[in-house]
Chains A and B, each alone.
Chain A
Amino acid sequence: MIRLEGVTKTYLTGAGAVHALRDVDLEVRAGEFVAIMGQSGSGKSTLMNILGCLDRPTSGTYRLDGRDVGRLPDSVRAKLRGAAFGFVFQSYNLLPRMSALEQVELPLIYQRVPNRRHLAAEALVRVGLADRAHHQPTQLSGGQQQRVAIARSLVVNPRLILADEPTGALDTKTGQEVMQLLTDLVDQRGITVVLVTHEQSVADFARRTLRMRDGMIVEDVVRPSLRAVSG
């Protein structure tokens, strides 16, 4: 589904060029659960942003289902983000003063999907927050907020969920619950999940772990014990 070839990302800063990604090749097949690990500044967030069409590669190609999405105009990329991708962030990124239900409805507003209240309610049920639909972010715990964010990413029926340190702000137990939720999405719904994390215990939920250093993928491990993934 995802194929990166020779992707480089260079930022120009006052101190000179920063090579966030150097010649990265990566293939992710549909239904895979991939964890990207690495230290701060290793390039993992940059890789996520490029995968999520939030950023463009400086050179190299990014093909999504064979389509070169790295060179699409912004409006098409925005449409793609809305329809095919779901984002989960470390800091949840919920909008203030909006109920959980409205947060989940948000992507549907931009998709002009009808019947969105119903779809949003369903997504909340799926993450176990049916009884919190009318709570605002400040009335929810961190784990609940992150589950709202996951419901929001799910509601568009995405093919790919990109999770940037989804457990970073949560305690271990809540973090495990959120990870279980993501694992279920992969297992039960065949959604592809790419996850960035610092923690080995979190990465262990994934079938495949990439390790990054200095903008390059230095290790790519697939755990053998699991069932085959469909291509």
Chain B
Amino acid sequence: MLKLLKYSLYNILRTRFALLYTLFLLMATLGIYSLDYDLSRVGLSLLNVVLLVVPLVCIIFATVHFYNSYEFMELMLAQPINRMTVFLSQILAVGLSLCLAFLIGAGLPMLIYGADSSLFYLLLVGVLLSLVFTGLAFLASVMTRDKARAIGITLLFWVYFSLIYDGLVIYLIYVFYDYPLEGATLAMVMLNPVDLARVIMLMQMDVSALMGFTGAFFQSFFGSAQGLLVSFSVLLIWILLPVWAAARVFKKKDL
């Protein structure tokens, strides 16, 4: 397993994509820092990068990588090696390299220019989101043989979670305006990893006052240790569930 992971990581490093991604994040973070000295505003700007760019890059890279290592997997599966080992080493290698790229790219400037607790939360949330979208990308990839279709599906995931879902939530809130919706919105937030990450971060940044009564309700939930534990657990489920589903499909996949 470790050996296979090592070779998979080596394969990724040689494509130089992870390096470019690190450099991009590094430059974006340094740029944000140089524009603003106020740490909370740095956090808000970085949050947008984490919520939009990181999932997009992760989902595209993981999908492309899966298809690029098709030959590698085929070669390995003709050897006396367990299928699950091959699958897990691939997904771990992609997840690890994306997380590492994010941690270096976004974390290094924080080490240099300083950070507060909310920025550390941002790093944690970014790592978790990277893993969520790596899992989703692998799920889409194992379900179809066609690379173009898989990329289409993964883009749909991204558009749905980043854009469409919010529209639906706002529409529902608008329609059911007269009813108490705090519980329902909380549930809806849990059903979208990007929203969940966003709300966790907003609560850390003390901007809940802008969000009226719902904001206060969220603050009382996400502000408590218990609420944070629940929301991070839900994010973990968002990582494990797609990986588990993808592993199940891969186990029976014809190569």
Do A and B interact?
no
Chain B residues in the interface with A (C-beta under 8 A) = none
